[in-house]
């Protein structure tokens, strides 16, 4: 979707009215066609009471013959048929346009969320973001469609009916009949302000309910293992009751429009018959004219209800847009101002990098310096919280360093376009994400054009091929949402196969072998080493708690407190007798005890 639909040219917050106006200007044809058809409907609707009044007067004074009566009745039937078909046609035009706005907003929201980094999602719940893409955008969509329809139709009908009542019948009777309507307008204003707040509260509570449902479904195994089903159900019931109460409160305020309209119309009817009876008695008004006026008064029911409906829809839309716009306009966690779309693989260099996570005073990395040559494998080890994964997050540009610079090849990372950087990096996190698709589809995410032979070759390198062929449909087996049908080690190896198939010049493994056994780990590492020797331009970075995963690396660093405290190859670090050597002896002893 074009940016001007979401924000104003000056990047100032755009109101719901501004959003809809901008969209209507860009899609004026269906709106204009709908307006013309609505105008025709309103004109025909206003024509019918006037025609009925003439028929009544003609019958009363005996001037209307049999053929003329049939002609007049036929005209009324034709007007009714035209109204029917025109109403169907404008609905097809107008609602198709409003649905396109909803699709554009969802596309824009999805694209914006895809551009955001981890810090944004740490502050926003997944369920609430899902609510924005469903309930909130639905409310904006209704404001751009149903509200536009009811507003235009109601306003035009009101103008034509009042004009016919005033100019076509008797202005004195019209003034008397319209006396209650200013009081109704005041009641509408008060009701609409309450609807806005109630709708906003309802949408927020629905977002919280969505958050809880999403978290519960994601952690359902943990809830069952800890026996927390009843507790979770109680929380869900409370949130559901809260959301229902807020929604009911909004509906109650919307229902208040009907009594206001009813009181106004009853008062107008009483005044009409009182003043009209006097005018008929005085001979200033005919019975047919009073009948037509009464029918026109009945036709004011729709504009009055339309006014209440429009106000309710607009207040819902305003509340939804007030929640949606901050997400659409939220600054990106990492700005993409890079100019280079082509990456020429070179050395990976950290130059005096200092980095802290947002809101955290302590440094995750402090004056961090590192040089990884092309073709090398770097191993990063250290205690929990030492800063190992922070190195990878800066390489992935999930965060930006406050000081210093990270370079790859000839340029700093922030000089590359994000899409180019993402295509040049294969990343396997400790908890890889698999989609609800087949094994083959999950492996080919990074290279959709891969052949089945390529897929199987990558699976063999990741030591997952034998597991796959034992599955019911082999590579076509569905793995379920988040790979629920696979074990942790299988998910990790499928993700490694995906990364190897992509064949990116920079491979990052973030404790990606933690769930596999030692024998499988050794085989995978041998395959990685063979691939490294066969590709002089690839850099591999392995972060691991198990030192056996990095023992084959050309260069190993030990990180502590965001600084490099030891570095060298495996033999040199063992000989130095530091943290690495002590941890290696401990893990080897632990492995031998497990083997026994």
- pLDDT value, residue 2: 38
- pLDDT value, residue 59: 67
Cα dihedral 67/68/73/79 (nearest 10) = 120
Strands 555-560 and 539-543 turn out to be unpaired
pTM over 0.85: no
Domain chopping of the chain, boundaries: 14-112+122-328, 334-424+505-596, 433-503
Neighbours of 63 (CB within 10 A): 10
pLDDT higher than 50, residue 8: no
- Which tens digits make up the pLDDT trace of 60-107? 666 666 667 677 777 777 877 887 787 777 777 777 777 888 888 888
- Which tens digits make up the pLDDT trace of 154-181? 777 777 777 777 776 777 777 777 777 7
Q: Is the model more confident about 206 or about 557?
A: 557
Least confident interval from 6-15, 310-319, 350-359, 558-567: 6-15
CA angle 386, 552, 569 (to 5 degrees): 65
- pLDDT value, residue 49: 66
The structural architecture, per CATH, of the domain 433-503 is 3-Layer(aba) Sandwich (3.40)
Are the folds of 14-112+122-328 and 433-503 the same? Answer: no
Which run of H or E residues covers position 199? helix 181-218
3-state secondary structure 113-171: HHHCCHHHHHHCCHHHHHHHHHHHHHHHHHHHCHHHHHHHHHHHHHHHHHHHHHHHHCH
- Torsional sign, CA 339, 342, 344, 347: positive
- pLDDT value, residue 269: 75
- pLDDT value, residue 13: 65
- pLDDT value, residue 9: 42
Q: How far is CA 518 from CA 209, 462, 500, 515, 525, in A?
A: 43, 14, 20, 10, 10
Q: In what order do the strands lie in the sheet with 425-428?
A: 425-428, 506-510, 539-543, 377-382, 555-560, 563-568
- Which tens digits make up the pLDDT trace of 468-487? 888 888 888 888 777 777 88
- pLDDT value, residue 7: 45
Domain 14-112+122-328 adopts which CATH fold?
A: ABC transporter transmembrane region fold (1.20.1560)
Cα R_g (the chain), whole angstroms: 35
Domain spanning 334-424+505-596, CATH class: alpha beta
Residue 47 burial class via C-beta count within 10 angstroms: exposed 0-12, middle 13-18, buried 19 and up: middle
Q: Give strand ranges (E) for 316-364.
A: 348-355
Please tell me which of 33-47, 115-129, 217-231, 340-354 the model is most confident about, judged by mean pLDDT: 340-354
Categorize the per-residue pLDDT at 150 as very low, low, confident or very high, splitting at 50, 70 and 90. confident
Categorize the per-residue pLDDT at 596 as very low, low, confident or very high, splitting at 50, 70 and 90. low
- pLDDT value, residue 315: 80
Q: Is the model more confident about 290 or about 534?
A: 290
- pLDDT value, residue 558: 93
What is the chain's mean pLDDT, rounded? 80
- Which tens digits make up the pLDDT trace of 367-383? 999 999 988 899 999 98
Q: What is the mean pLDDT of residues 447-466?
A: 88
pLDDT higher than 80, residue 554: yes
Neighbours of 411 (CB within 10 A): 15
């Amino acid at each position: 979707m074009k940016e001007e639909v979401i924000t104003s040219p000056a990047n100032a917050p755009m109101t719901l009215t501004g959003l809809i106006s901008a969209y209507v200007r860009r899609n004026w044809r269906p709106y204009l066609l709908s307006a013309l058809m609505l105008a025709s409907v309103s004109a025909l609707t206003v024509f019918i009471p006037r025609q009925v009044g003439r028929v009544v007067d003609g019958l009363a004074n005996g001037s209307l013959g049999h053929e003329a009566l049939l002609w007049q009745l036929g005209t009324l039937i034709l007007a009714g048929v035209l109204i029917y078909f025109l109403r169907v046609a404008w609905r097809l035009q107008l609602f198709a346009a409003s649905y396109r706005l909803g699709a554009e907003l969802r596309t824009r929201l999805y694209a914006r969320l895809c551009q955001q980094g981890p810090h944004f999602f740490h502050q926003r719940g997944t369920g609430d973001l899902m609510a924005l893409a469903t309930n909130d955008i639905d409310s904006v969509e209704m404001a751009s469609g149903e509200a536009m329809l009811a507003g235009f139709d109601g306003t035009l009908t009101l103008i034509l009916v009042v004009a016919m009542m005033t100019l076509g019948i008797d202005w004195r009777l019209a003034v008397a009949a319209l006396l209650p309507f200013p009081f109704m307008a005041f009641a509408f204003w008060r009701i609409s302000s309450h609807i806005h707040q109630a709708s906003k509260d309802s949408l927020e509570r629905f977002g919280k309910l969505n958050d809880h449902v999403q978290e519960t479904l994601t952690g359902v195994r943990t809830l069952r293992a800890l026996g927390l089903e009843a507790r979770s159900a109680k929380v869900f019931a409370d949130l559901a009751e809260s959301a229902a109460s807020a929604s009911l409160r909004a509906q109650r305020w919307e229902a208040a429009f009907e009594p206001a309209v009813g009181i106004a119309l009853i008062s107008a009817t009483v005044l009409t018959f009182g003043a009209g009876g006097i005018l008929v008695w005085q001979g200033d008004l005919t019975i047919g004219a009073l009948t037509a006026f009464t029918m026109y008064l009945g036709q004011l029911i729709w504009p009055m209800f339309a006014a209440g409906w429009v106000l309710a829809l607009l207040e819902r839309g305003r509340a939804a847009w007030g929640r949606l716009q901050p997400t659409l306009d939220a600054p990106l966690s990492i700005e993409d101002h890079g100019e280079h779309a082509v990456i020429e693989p070179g050395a990976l260099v950290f130059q005096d990098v200092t980095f802290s996570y947002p809101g955290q005073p302590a440094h995750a990395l402090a004056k961090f310096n590192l040089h990884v040559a092309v073709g090398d494998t770097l191993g990063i080890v250290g205690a929990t919280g030492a800063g190992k994964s922070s190195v990878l997050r800066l390489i992935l540009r999930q965060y930006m360093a406050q000081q210093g610079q990270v370079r790859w090849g000839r340029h700093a990372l922030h000089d590359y376009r994000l899409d180019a950087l993402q295509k040049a990096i294969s990343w396997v996190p400790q908890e890889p994400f698999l989609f609800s698709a087949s094994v083959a589809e999950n492996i080919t995410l990074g290279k959709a054009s891969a052949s089945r032979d390529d897929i199987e070759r990558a699976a063999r390198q990741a030591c997952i091929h034998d597991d796959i062929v034992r599955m019911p449909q082999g590579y076509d087996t569905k793995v379920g949402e988040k790979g629920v049908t696979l074990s942790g080690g299988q998910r990790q190896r499928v993700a490694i196969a995906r990364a190897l198939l992509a064949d990116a010049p920079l491979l990052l493994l973030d404790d990606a072998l933690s769930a596999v056994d030692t024998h499988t780990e050794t085989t995978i590492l041998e395959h990685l080493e063979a691939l490294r020797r066969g590709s002089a331009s690839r850099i591999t970075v392995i972060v691991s708690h198990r030192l056996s995963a990095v023992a084959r690396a050309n260069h190993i660093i030990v990180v502590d407190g965001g600084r490099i405290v030891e570095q060298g190859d495996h033999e040199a670090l063992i000989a130095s007798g530091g943290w690495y050597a002590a941890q290696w002896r401990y893990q080897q002893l632990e492995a031998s005890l497990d083997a026994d």
